[in-house]
Amino acid sequence: MKRLFTTLCLALTHLSQLTEAKSGSWSGTNNYFLQGMSDSAQDAYIQTLSSYNTKVVRLWVNQASKGCQKGSQIVRDIPQLETTIGQYNKVTLDEIDKLLVKLSDKNIKAIISPHDANSLIGDYRKDAYWARWGSGYFYEKQDAFDAYDARLSYILNYKGAYSGEVWKNWPHAIFSFNLQNEPMTPGPSNCKNGDPSGWACGRATFMRNAGLDSRILISTGGLGGDFSHGCTFLPAVTQCKAIDAISVHRYASVPGKWSANLPSWLSQANGKKVYLEEWGVDSQKYDQKSAFVTEVNDMNSVGLPNMYWQLLPPSSGGCSYNPKNDAGDPFGIYTNSGANLAGPINGATSSGAAQDWTGKLGNAAFSAADNSDMSLRVLLESKNIPKMGFDIRGISRILFHQFHVSLAGVHDIQLMELASRKGGQTKKFLSGLANCIDQDISNEDPDKVRWLNPTDAKDLQFYQDLGHAPYWIMKRVEIFPSLWEAYYTKLNKPKNAVWLHLAEQESEQRVHDAKKKRKKARTEKQSWGPEVFWDDQQKQIAKEAWNKSIMLNKLLGDLGIGRDDE
């Protein structure tokens, strides 16, 4: 039990420290044809991305045809989602759902682009929207808005054939929904004129009002296409409350001067998240192997999350493809090309991000389950698994508001100390951890000896050599079980039972209060104990309620209520 307590305390205390610091950056890639590949090819590709520590893959709700695509063999025909406006081919989403399951199993999230604006150009990609509205009216006419909103609603409310999850409620697998891939690229006048019909904000507002989980971001998808078109940070999106993230698409020369450009992007974003959703190294002009490393390292130096266009699966099925010979898309890099992809991509996760992405990518850590289906979320929310902490107000607030975790079954050692004070001692003011250790743990206690005489972290009973938790946290939580035992020994007596009950009750109340919208508290009140501990009237009411419950339980027991009829 002591070991379990210590382990959980370490997790809780370290979570608090992590969320107060900068979150890590992240890296990923785009792949618009992955759903058409064979299962084995998908699995191998996703495993490779996972080995790089890839965090996000961007997918498209689009069609696929058997044959070759960027060197990969496409083994299945996948229809357009809408061959007729308002009529949807479920199989299109089924194939993506299968990918989402595979990606989430590797702790990789997805960005989903619900439609490709290139379908409005009129070339081989044209669809029912192009036939009805063309490239311009799609962003101007209300009937087009209604039709697209219906498509968005179908996608958001789709229940996975493989996952069983409703997509709008699946933040474990879905990081973001784009508004569209590169909206307004085919009809640039709408973008240049500032989106006068309010297409972008209107669609984002519709998505959020449709019940999209708040942990899933709504991103722009590269408004207007490449950054050079001047639409990326249009006020129509930066000032839209429903839009969470600005997706930058920028195909620059080498060096791209990413670190120099990021401050300007952040200042234009009006507090929105900013990430580089598409970028590439032109293989016809530059050495991709060296440029990929230097460019991503530059992004990592300032914490700019980035997604390459595209990291290609190894060539398969006799599909020959060389990006250097692709005039329209010379940016692809094969994962087996010999380029150092893993180093820079993994480096992103160890780089501090320019913005806080905590709670967006971090949620997956709470849902990952072990062989017994026990996840950190289940463990933290279980009332039957005891946990302890010292002053749990902060960590309860962080867990709920950033990770939507409702902490339960936790003993607040600070309140146990307050409850254990002898009669005549004030129970109004809380004690700090150092004071509790000094007064209530024997100097001969081995844990206190290590607390007072720190030498090497490996002297601690709870030691992990991966470096995830700083030494001061390991030192802090190792002392918790000794404190808990000291106070529980005092309180676990008939005459003190009411105080043990109140300590447990007020621990639960602290968790409950942490879920409320935070108000600026008076500094002195932060050091006060619960009023029921020191206010004479409340204390008397609590004791009377406790005595009544004892009497009622005894009466019910004497009457045999609750026993099975014989």
CATH number of the domain bearing residue 218: 3.20.20.80
pLDDT digits (tens, 9 = 90+) for 308-325: 999 999 998 899 999 999
> Which region among 5-19, 40-54, 135-149, 314-328 has the lowest average model confidence (pLDDT)?
5-19
Residue 166 maps to a domain: yes
Q: Is the dihedral of CA 438, 444, 449, 453 positive or negative?
A: positive
Largest CA distance in the chain: 89
Give the mean pLDDT of the chain: 86
Pair (91, 34) in one structural domain = yes
> Which region among 64-73, 178-187, 464-473, 544-553 has the lowest average model confidence (pLDDT)?
464-473
> Which region among 79-88, 124-133, 378-387, 518-527 has the lowest average model confidence (pLDDT)?
518-527
* Between 2 and 206, the higher pLDDT residue: 206
Over pLDDT 70: what percentage of the chain? 84
**Strands 311-312 and 306-308, sheet pairing:** unpaired
Residue 447 maps to a domain: yes
- Domain interval for residue 223: 24-357
Question: By C-alpha distance, which of 41, 113, 34, 56 is closest to 81?
Answer: 113
Pair (338, 455) in one structural domain = no
Tokens, residue 352: 């501090």
* Between 175 and 484, the higher pLDDT residue: 175
Residue 17 maps to a domain: no
Residue 541 maps to a domain: no
Residue 4 has pLDDT above 60, yes or no: no
Residue 397 maps to a domain: yes
Pair (382, 332) in one structural domain = no
Residue 548 maps to a domain: no
Structural domains in the chain (count)? 2
Q: Stretch 559-564: mean pLDDT, rounded?
A: 44
- pLDDT score, position 120: 94
Residue 146 has pLDDT above 70, yes or no: yes
Cβ–Cβ under 8 Å, residues 42 and 102? yes
Residue 247 has pLDDT above 90, yes or no: yes
Q: Which of 331, 357, 383 is the last residue of a domain?
A: 357
pLDDT digits (tens, 9 = 90+) for 278-296: 999 999 999 999 999 999 9
Q: What's the CA gap between 47 and 49, in Å, rounded?
A: 5
Question: By C-alpha distance, which of 428, 409, 365, 419 is closest to 511?
Answer: 409
Amino acid 382 reads S
Residue 422 maps to a domain: yes
Residue labelled with tokens 């952040």 = 266
Based on C-alpha coordinates, what's the Rg of the chain?
A: 29
Pair (200, 97) in one structural domain = yes
Under DSSP, the state recorded for 22 is P
Local structure of 399: helix, strand or coil:
helix
- pLDDT score, position 19: 44
Q: What's the CA gap between 119 and 151, in Å, rounded?
A: 15
Cβ–Cβ under 8 Å, residues 27 and 1? no
Pair (244, 271) in one structural domain = yes
Amino acid 489 reads T
Pair (280, 383) in one structural domain = no
Pair (378, 303) in one structural domain = no
* Between 515 and 425, the higher pLDDT residue: 515
pTM for the structure as a whole: 0.68
pLDDT digits (tens, 9 = 90+) for 419-458: 889 866 788 899 888 898 889 988 888 878 777 776 554 5
Residue 463's alpha-carbon distances to 3, 184, 471, 472, in angstroms, are 12, 55, 9, 12
Under DSSP, the state recorded for 141 is -
Residue 552 binned pLDDT confidence (cut-offs 50, 70, 90): low
Q: Stretch 148-160: mean pLDDT, rounded?
A: 98
Pair (451, 332) in one structural domain = no
Q: Is the dihedral of CA 513, 517, 523, 524 positive or negative?
A: negative
- Phi and psi of 293, rounded to 5°? -65, -50
Local structure of 3: helix, strand or coil:
helix
Q: Which of 328, 357, 386 is the last residue of a domain?
A: 357
Q: Stretch 261-280: mean pLDDT, rounded?
A: 96
Pair (300, 409) in one structural domain = no
Pair (223, 92) in one structural domain = yes
Residue 514 binned pLDDT confidence (cut-offs 50, 70, 90): confident
Q: What's the CA gap between 281 and 291, in Å, rounded?
A: 7
Tokens, residue 498: 């009411």
Pair (431, 314) in one structural domain = no
Q: Stretch 540-544: mean pLDDT, rounded?
A: 82
- pLDDT score, position 558: 53
- pLDDT score, position 91: 97
Tokens, residue 118: 């290139």
Pair (405, 446) in one structural domain = yes
> Which region among 208-217, 236-245, 369-378 has the lowest average model confidence (pLDDT)?
369-378
Q: Which of 312, 333, 357 is the last residue of a domain?
A: 357
Residue 556 maps to a domain: no
